[in-house]
């Protein structure tokens, strides 16, 4: 092939390469594209670097580096001296079809499972503002203390903390075991504690280690969409069991087709805030023992109780080792930390530790070391205590303002603990449409229907987070929201 033609071809390809990339990379990409498009077929002799660099008006080294990269990746054979030729191996590969892009709602190429995960899409990109539920106030975090602890452990003398962490950071597990003993009446050894990157990973690990594809799993209805999606992604047959005032309320028929695993939030059901009654706790434990089911206890924000101490765990009540306890630092510290912990029954410790290491490879030891000291030196409990006060004030402002404006047309569920509360409507309000209208007015709320697996059962309501909203912004946002709610209540009344 004539060198002049090759130069022209490359000039065209070079013009199409993204600006901002180094010239040698653009030259490499231009040559590669010409080869992949078949414009420089296998066996083509490329011009020498000296002449090509002169013709393209660039330094010889630039062309040399591009040729070296093509050679290293197998696009050309022979380097310089004897001439460089487009690799004969490309003959067999054939032309690359233009890549299909997965955009918008197109799901081609995904597995059935992948398609379901992509379709589930319940998490929100919005993580700020009145009244996004589930988010703590990150501005009030004790930055200076945390920064000091991080820098104490992030230094050459502690370089072992940058390695893979097999089994988590020992002193953190000791600190957590002690903390759980004092605050949750849980007796466990540090050995039983696994450190993970968030509760989703804990649920995923339980699903993989304790269930097989197609096994039945129970979740609460309404319930946390995150656990639902993780269990479904594990190929489980997920059934949602409705709640009553005492928490999850399986019927005798439900127990006749028991689950292999169930995911509960006994201390403060998400999102309703209902506490699992003692009677129901004992029933669930007894039935789980009878039918060999495992219970995942999702204890995500039990520390933040506004009227009493954290409730004792289901794990602590169980004498039969059927409960796996999951705690998270997302609500009491900050969600981006991505640290959670699970306490597994003694008999599962070895298998779960191996599973965790094999599936996920552990790390984050610097964060874990900082957290261990944060807990041991009392900063953790002090922070929780302080945030509890701040959150309680914010909850009260919200209840006061919305109570005054909406009165008896709504009922409140939850709010005794945690970062959010639910407003329920007796009228047949379309809560998703209401949430969309509120968003258009700058107020973020999550419709209660989002938390139902079977939307036909859903009771209309709104899940409102108050914790991350500065005191002075709560009333103005509540006033806007009340207006939207009143509108929708009127509409529902007219529909009749």
Ligand X SMILES: Cc1ncc(COP(=O)(O)O)c(C=O)c1O
Contact footprint for ligand X (CB under 6 A)? 134, 198-200, 224, 226, 265, 270, 298, 300, 328, 330, 335, 340
Tokens, residue 386? 């302080």
Task: In angstroms, give the least distance from the CB of 18 to ligand X.
Answer: 36
Q: How far apart are CA 8 and CA 48, in angstroms?
A: 15
**DSSP count for the chain of H helices, then E strands:** 18, 15
Task: In angstroms, give the least distance from the CB of 107 to ligand X.
Answer: 25
Query: What sign for the dihedral angle of Cα 16, 18, 23, 27?
Result: negative
Q: How far apart are CA 35 and CA 18, in angstroms?
A: 18
Of 406 and 444, CB closest to ligand X: 444
Of 300 and 380, CB closest to ligand X: 300
CB-count burial class (<10 Å; 0-12, 13-18, 19+) for 230: buried
Task: In angstroms, give the least distance from the CB of 327 to ligand X.
Answer: 8
CA angle 335, 336, 341 (to 5 degrees): 60
Q: Find how far residue 167's CA is from the centre of its chain.
A: 22
Q: How far apart are CA 158 and CA 365, in angstroms?
A: 10
Of 202 and 438, CB closest to ligand X: 202
Dihedral class, residue 412 (left if φ above 0, else alpha if ψ from -120 to 50, else beta): beta
Task: In angstroms, give the least distance from the CB of 375 to ligand X.
Answer: 17
Of 47 and 447, CB closest to ligand X: 447
Of 75 and 179, CB closest to ligand X: 179
- The answer for residues whose C-beta is within 8 angstroms of residue 494's C-beta and 6 or more apart is none
Task: In angstroms, give the least distance from the CB of 486 to ligand X.
Answer: 29
Nearest Cα to Cα of residue 139 among 128, 124, 151: 128
Task: In angstroms, give the least distance from the CB of 264 to ligand X.
Answer: 10
CA angle 435, 127, 411 (to 5 degrees): 40
Question: SS3 for 365?
Answer: helix
Of 47 and 327, CB closest to ligand X: 327
Task: In angstroms, give the least distance from the CB of 412 to ligand X.
Answer: 18
Is the bond preceding residue 271 a cis peptide, omega within 30 degrees?
A: yes
Q: How far apart are CA 334 and CA 461, in angstroms?
A: 27
Task: In angstroms, give the least distance from the CB of 130 to ligand X.
Answer: 17
Of 270 and 325, CB closest to ligand X: 270
CB 356 within 8 A of CB 385: no
Q: How far apart are CA 160 and CA 162, in angstroms?
A: 5
Question: SS3 for 43?
Answer: coil
Q: How far apart are CA 29 and CA 75, in angstroms?
A: 11
Of 49 and 265, CB closest to ligand X: 265
Of 90 and 219, CB closest to ligand X: 219
Task: In angstroms, give the least distance from the CB of 341 to ligand X.
Answer: 9
């Amino acid at each position: 092939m004539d060198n002049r033609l090759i130069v022209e071809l490359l000039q065209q390809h070079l013009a199409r390469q993204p600006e901002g990339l180094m010239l040698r990379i653009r030259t490499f990409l231009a040559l590669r594209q010409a080869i992949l498009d078949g414009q420089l077929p296998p066996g083509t002799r490329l011009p020498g670097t000296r002449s090509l660099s002169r013709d393209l008006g660039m330094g010889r080294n630039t062309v040399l580096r591009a040729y070296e990269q093509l050679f290293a990746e197998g696009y050309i054979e022979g380097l310089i001296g004897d001439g460089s030729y487009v690799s004969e191996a490309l003959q067999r590969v054939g032309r690359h079809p233009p890549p299909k892009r997965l955009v918008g709602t197109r799901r081609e190429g995904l597995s059935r499972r992948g398609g379901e995960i992509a379709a589930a899409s319940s998490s929100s990109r919005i993580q700020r503002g009145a009244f996004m539920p589930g988010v703590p106030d990150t501005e009030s975090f004790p930055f200076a203390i945390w920064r000091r602890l991080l820098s104490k452990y992030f230094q050459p003398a502690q370089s072992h903390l940058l390695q893979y962490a097999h089994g988590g950071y020992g002193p953190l597990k000791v600190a957590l075991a002690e903390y759980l003993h004092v605050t949750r009446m849980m007796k466990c050894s540090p050995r039983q504690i696994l450190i993970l990157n968030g509760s989703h990973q804990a649920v995923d690990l339980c699903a993989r280690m304790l269930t097989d594809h197609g096994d039945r799993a129970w979740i609460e209805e309404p319930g946390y969409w995150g656990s639902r999606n993780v269990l479904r992604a594990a190929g489980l047959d997920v059934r949602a069991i409705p709640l009553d005032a005492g928490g999850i309320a399986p019927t005798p028929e439900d127990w006749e087709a028991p689950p292999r695993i169930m995911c509960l939030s006994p201390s403060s059901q998400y999102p309703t805030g209902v506490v699992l009654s003692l009677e129901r706790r004992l029933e669930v434990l007894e039935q789980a023992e009878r039918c060999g089911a495992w219970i995942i206890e999702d204890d995500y924000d039990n520390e933040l109780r506004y009227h009493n101490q954290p409730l004792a765990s289901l794990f602590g009540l169980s004498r039969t080792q059927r409960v796996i306890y999951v705690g998270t630092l997302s609500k009491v510290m900050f969600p981006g930390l991505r640290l959670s912990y699970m306490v597994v029954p003694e008999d599962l410790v070895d298998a779960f530790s191996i599973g965790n290491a094999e599936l996920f490879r552990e790390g984050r030891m610097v964060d874990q070391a900082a957290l261990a000291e944060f807990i041991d030196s009392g900063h953790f409990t002090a922070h929780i205590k302080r945030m509890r006060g701040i959150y309680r004030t914010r909850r009260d402002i919200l209840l006061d303002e919305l109570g005054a404006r909406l009165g008896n047309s709504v009922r409140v569920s939850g709010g005794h603990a945690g970062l959010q509360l639910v407003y329920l409507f007796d009228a047949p309000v379309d809560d998703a449409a209401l949430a969309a209208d509120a968003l258009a007015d700058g107020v973020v709320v999550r419709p209660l229907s989002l938390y139902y697996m079977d939307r036909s059962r859903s009771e209309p309501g709104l899940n409102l987070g108050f914790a991350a909203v500065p005191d002075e912004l709560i009333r103005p946002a509540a006033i806007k929201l009340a207006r939207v709610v009143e509108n929708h209540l009127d509409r529902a009344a007219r529909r009749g």
